[in-house]
With several copies, the nearest count.
Chain A
Amino acid sequence: MDMDFSSQDIAFRNEVRAFLQNNLTDRLRDGARRTPSVFVEPDIGMEWHRILYRQGWVAPHWPKEDGGTGWSPTQKFIFERECALAGAPALSILGLRLVGPVICAFGTPEQKARFLPRILSGDDYWCQGYSEPGSGSDLASLKTSARLEGGDYVINGSKIWTTHAHHADWIFALVRTDATVKKQAGITFLLVPMDQPGISVTPIPSMSGDHEVNAVFFTDARTSAENRIGAEGQGWSIAKFLLENERGGSCYAPRLLQSIGRLEQLAQTQPSGSGGMIGHDPRFRDRLARVRLEAEALEITELRILAELAKGRAPGPQTSLVKLLGSNIGQRIDTLRLELLGPDALQLPLERPLYGNEAPEPVGSEDAQTAMIQYLNNRAATIFGGSDEVQKNIIAKTVLGL
């Protein structure tokens, strides 16, 4: 038993580190650090996207022939980890992790040629049309309909929680093309251009004051039948393929440990108000230590999954476990950050972005300026991408056999 990387993997890690050192600018790092929403703002995210694109590293999860890197699971893990440790912006997963792999797996050669290069280059920005007002965890009950008219699908209905719809060029959407069959069997997967009169986007303000998600309304919106992925009625199996990717993030620990390290630093400089620093209060100190232990354990849990992957075994629903643990540990960190930063952490600025020249002056510290926004936004971590309740149902059934 050992938890060491091979010498080849260490050489790869050093290559990644050197690349990050040379290409990850302070502006990008600052933008990432001071973006308290779940998704990074497109200006920062796409700048980093294009740098990685030029390096050929933007799509580690794609097949090599479609523009992927051809990395082993361990290399992918190392890359993700090093990016996290270096404080790189998170890329938008919508094109690269969600619709991209779907097109790679289910698209025709023509669809691949048309869409994949523009996802890689960052020329197209994507959003996801899955959830509907009445269909959250019970996704298969979705109602948005599409009917074929000539060579086009005509789409009516609405989608909700559509992240960055207001930035997107395309939406990939699950639609109902047959209402007469079993609900899962009547669903089709369509790619739809956003820039058309049949689509309107309404912001849904979050309680943090951010505008990330939207409602998207389709009123006789159109897309060519050529933009259907797979066959009619195949949408549900494509959706499941995609959800596995969405839930497949298996590298939470590095970012969590980075956040904890920052709190440990801050705890040494924040006065407790009764002499000494907060970090010396055994109650706070122990809470922070307990979260660190949880994140350190998660780091190994992730490595254990990686070791399975590297042996060519499917990790299966263990990704649900990582999602469950990672999001909950993140929320505990958010709570500790609020505690730690005291009265200053109550500020909730509404200006965005909080980086760059236009950013408002923080009250107290930059950490305090974003602490509340992070706390509020990150309540979503246990809701979106498969809620805690859904993950627990999955694990109970598939892992525990209940």
Chain B
Amino acid sequence: MNFDLSDEHHMFVSAIERFAAPIDVAARRRLRLSPAGYDRARWTQLADMGLIALAAGADAGGLGGSAVDLALVAQAIGAANAPDPLIELGILPALLLERGGAGAALEGVLAGTTIATLAWTERGQRYSLNATGMKADQNADGFALTGEKTMVPGALLADLFIVTADVGGATACFLVPKDAPGLCLRAYRLADGSIAGELTLARTPATARLALDNAGLAAMAADMRLYAAAEMVGLSQRLLDDTLAYVKQREQFGIAIGSFQALQHRLVDCYARQEQSRSMLYRAMLTDRADAATWHRAAAGAKAFIGENSNAIAREAVQMHGGMGITDELAIGHALKRVLVLDRLFGDADTALADYALAA
């Protein structure tokens, strides 16, 4: 039994800290306010650090990082309040393309030269993975896709869309390049400053179908729940640390507000939540993956639990920062908004909690 980071883990974490350090809040705002909500050059640097390649096995050209490695990386991204959509645009497509056998596309994704994104959300399906509003019809040349998706991450960065669609009642994944005929994208901004999109396809030909069934999609969602939870643990640590620092230096009535007992007890509640979140993250990331049901359940539970705790810590962080907390000028607001987005990635707290409870 050992909960200390290995030397290699320490290396990842410090690499991310160094990478994120120059991006202060003002720089983060500028980056997020840019048209695509992010910077492609920065993405290349991230890939060059090998952080995307961690998500794929050595056979597939990756660095073969484990779920533990990836979770610790995601946590470090959160703790640094980094603006990088590593989990949505890096880990997620890498996992899907490797597991779906799309080696050529994977290579570009790992190198950071291709940005791929998964289009799965449908308005009428809320957080369900079942595609019903996008149909794939087989023809002589392969598949053509028709339908609508919403909340497609990184819409203005993506070169390649991985689109879930209904094929005779099952949900399958198809590759559609951004310049495919019939593809129409309407971009909009999300709470974390990233740009998402509504994607409409009209008889748009897919360049490939991934070798991935519903179970494969469910496994990807479980992975993503873990990494979203990990990033939230990092974010809430940052929120708590910044708030502790603030209440120690902010004075009212001649004394630091951190000396008020009512705030102290609430901060202890936040601390307890954070320690419990961290424990739950460790539990989920160290769960044996031999049995898919057990591991999916652990990921669902961790996401529900950590999402609730991180939101609670974020709200307290804002409240204790007073007026400063609701500006866009501190990490606090940025972290709160990122938590709101991650908490709803592949299911909000109600959805994830129900998945956990029903899998018992």
The yes or no answer to B304 lying at the interface (CB within 8 A) is: yes
Stretch of A12-20, A80-88, A174-182, A291-299 lying at the B interface: A291-299
Of A1, A161, A272, most buried by chain B (CB within 10 Å of CB) is A1
A387: chain B residues within 8 A (beta carbon): 319, 322
Stretch of B79-87, B105-113, B158-166, B336-344 lying at the A interface: B336-344
Asked whether A284 lies within 8 Å of B283 as measured between CB atoms, the reply is no
A339: chain B residues within 8 A (beta carbon): 348, 350
Asked whether A304 lies within 8 Å of B279 as measured between CB atoms, the reply is yes
The yes or no answer to B39 lying at the interface (CB within 8 A) is: no
Asked whether B357 lies within 8 Å of A296 as measured between CB atoms, the reply is no
A384: chain B residues within 8 A (beta carbon): 323
B128: chain A residues within 8 A (beta carbon): 273-274
Asked whether B282 lies within 8 Å of A264 as measured between CB atoms, the reply is no
The yes or no answer to B280 lying at the interface (CB within 8 A) is: yes
Asked whether A209 lies within 8 Å of B328 as measured between CB atoms, the reply is yes
Stretch of B13-21, B42-50, B54-62, B184-192 lying at the A interface: B184-192
* CB of B90 to closest CB in A, whole Å: 20
The yes or no answer to A99 lying at the interface (CB within 8 A) is: no
* CB of B271 to closest CB in A, whole Å: 6
Asked whether A272 lies within 8 Å of B126 as measured between CB atoms, the reply is yes
The yes or no answer to A136 lying at the interface (CB within 8 A) is: yes
The yes or no answer to B207 lying at the interface (CB within 8 A) is: no
For A282, the closest partner residue in chain B by CB is: B354
A400: chain B residues within 8 A (beta carbon): 244, 264, 267-268, 271
A338→B350 CA distance, assembly (Å)? 12
B265: chain A residues within 8 A (beta carbon): 389, 392, 396
8 Å CB contacts to A: which residues of B276-326?
276-277, 279-280, 282-283, 285-286, 301, 304-305, 308, 315, 318-319, 322-323, 325-326
* CB of A380 to closest CB in B, whole Å: 5
The yes or no answer to B231 lying at the interface (CB within 8 A) is: no
Asked whether A1 lies within 8 Å of B328 as measured between CB atoms, the reply is no
Q: Number of contact residues on A: which range applies?
A: 35 or more
The yes or no answer to A93 lying at the interface (CB within 8 A) is: no
A298→B276 CA distance, assembly (Å)? 6
Contact flag A293-B340 (CB < 8 Å), given A2-B286, A138-B252, A402-B248: no
Of A5, A283, A349, A392, most buried by chain B (CB within 10 Å of CB) is A392
The yes or no answer to A346 lying at the interface (CB within 8 A) is: yes
Asked whether A161 lies within 8 Å of B344 as measured between CB atoms, the reply is no
8 Å CB contacts to A: which residues of B243-288?
244, 247-248, 251-254, 258-265, 267-269, 271-272, 275-277, 279-280, 282-283, 285-286
Asked whether B283 lies within 8 Å of A325 as measured between CB atoms, the reply is no
Asked whether A363 lies within 8 Å of B357 as measured between CB atoms, the reply is no
Count of chain B residues with a beta carbon within 8 Å of a chain A beta carbon: 86
B336: chain A residues within 8 A (beta carbon): 207, 376
The yes or no answer to B208 lying at the interface (CB within 8 A) is: no
The yes or no answer to A90 lying at the interface (CB within 8 A) is: no
Contact flag A304-B188 (CB < 8 Å), given A206-B326, A289-B357: no
A377: chain B residues within 8 A (beta carbon): 326
* CB of B37 to closest CB in A, whole Å: 11
Interface string of A275-307 (1 = CB under 8 A from B): 000000111111011101110111111011011
For A329, the closest partner residue in chain B by CB is: B276
B348: chain A residues within 8 A (beta carbon): 339, 342
For A135, the closest partner residue in chain B by CB is: B252
- Say which residue of A207, A273, A282, A321 sits within 8 Å of B127 (CB atoms): A273
Contact flag A321-B272 (CB < 8 Å), given A1-B6, A376-B337: yes
- Say which residue of B1, B189, B283, B286 sits within 8 Å of A348 (CB atoms): B189
The yes or no answer to B353 lying at the interface (CB within 8 A) is: yes
A389→B305 CA distance, assembly (Å)? 25
- Say which residue of B188, B198, B269, B276 sits within 8 Å of A349 (CB atoms): B188
A-B contact pairs, 24 of them (CB 8 A): A1-B4, A1-B5, A3-B282, A205-B29, A207-B336, A273-B125, A286-B353, A289-B301, A290-B308, A298-B279, A304-B282, A325-B276, A338-B340, A346-B151, A346-B344, A350-B33, A363-B186, A376-B333, A379-B319, A387-B319, A391-B268, A395-B272, A396-B265, A402-B267
Which residues in B have some Cβ–Cβ distance to A below 8 Å?
1-6, 9, 29, 33, 68, 121, 123-128, 150-151, 186, 188-191, 193, 196, 198, 244, 247-248, 251-254, 258-265, 267-269, 271-272, 275-277, 279-280, 282-283, 285-286, 301, 304-305, 308, 315, 318-319, 322-323, 325-329, 333-334, 336-337, 340-341, 344, 348, 350-351, 353-354, 356-358, 360
